[in-house]
Amino acid sequence: MHNIRFELTEQGEFRILDYPDAVEVVDLPPDLGKTLAHCVLHGQDLRFAQQCIQELIDTQASSSEITKRALWHSALVACFKCFGRSNARSKLDPNDIYDAGLQTDVFNHLKSLRDKHIAHDDNDWAQALSGAIVASKESGRKVEDAFCLATTGNALDNDSLNNLRLVVEAALKWVEEKIESEAEAIVNELRTWDYETILSLPQMTWNKPTVESIHITRSTPGR
């Protein structure tokens, strides 16, 4: 699949710049375009995770702790977003990408780190210990103060960073290969159709997101 340059008209219609002889840009039927559409979105998230990881590697010595933590969290969330449940796109299956054994163990460890510590507070990597300071009997106060000690596990080290880099690279490689094979299969399928049938497909358009649409699960191919 080629990277295609295009313009977007005020009506949300696409004008392709790389194919001067093209007469139309049509929308694919859901059953034909679903896997391609979902994989392209996975690729977008995985490339963002890859960029966060590379930024961490390049600037770790000079970045502030808050910057490193933000990049680390962003990389984890973006990567494992592709493997989690979504109402708008199908998830990646780690069994398609990682070998059983060490690769799967590393994947599961990092996914649990994201799921049960970074994105949600579910395990003992974050703890809050509530206590009271007992006063001497002679003071007559019984208790001096109440307090809470919060502790948070830090998983960002060179080994974890390198492991996440490898997890993301493997997933992105699989996704990019899937995109190429799906795009080729779509072209081959459409070339078996009558030309008029292809032209009768609806024109591909883009609807700009709105404040209201943030609450609504989007309509997506083959959901």
Give the number of other Cβ atoms within 10 Å of residue 2's Cβ. Answer: 7
Q: Tell me the pLDDT tens digit for each residue of 148-192.
A: 999 998 889 999 999 999 999 999 999 999 999 999 999 999 999
| Nearest residue to 126 (alpha-carbon basis) of 99, 149, 147 | 149
Residue from 152, 203, 180 nearest 36 by CA: 180
Determine the Cα–Cα distance for residues 83 and 108; give it in Å rounded to an integer. Answer: 11
First to last CA, the chain: 23
Residue type, 202: P
Taking only the tens place, the pLDDT of each residue in 85-130 is: 998 899 999 999 999 999 999 999 999 999 999 999 999 999 999 9
Helices (H), the chain: 30-59, 65-81, 102-113, 158-190, 195-199
**Residue written as token pair 């002889």:** 21
| Spans of all domains in the chain | 6-120+157-215
Tell me: the pLDDT tens digits for 43-67? 999 999 999 999 999 988 788 999 9
Q: What is the mean pLDDT of the chain?
A: 92
Q: Is the dihedral of CA 8, 11, 13, 16 positive or negative?
A: negative
Residue 223 has pLDDT above 50, yes or no: no
User: What is the value of pTM for the model shown?
Assistant: 0.88
